[in-house]
Amino acid sequence: MPTIYHIRHGETDWNVGGRLQGWRDLPMNARGLTQAASAAHILHGLFEREGKSPEDFAYVSSPLTRAAATMRIVRTELRLPVEDFATDDRLREIGYGTWEGYTLREMAERDPVTFAKRTADKWDTVPPSGESYAQLAARVRAWYEALTQDTVVAAHGGTTRVLMVITGATTTEEAADRPIKQGAVYVFGKGKFETYS
Any catalytic annotation for residue 194? no
* Cβ atoms of residues 91 and 137 within 8 Å: no
Any catalytic annotation for residue 156? no
Q: Of these residues, 41, 50, 55, 93, which one is catalytic?
A: 93
Q: Of these residues, 9, 11, 131, 156, which one is catalytic?
A: 9
Catalytic residues, by residue number, are 9, 93
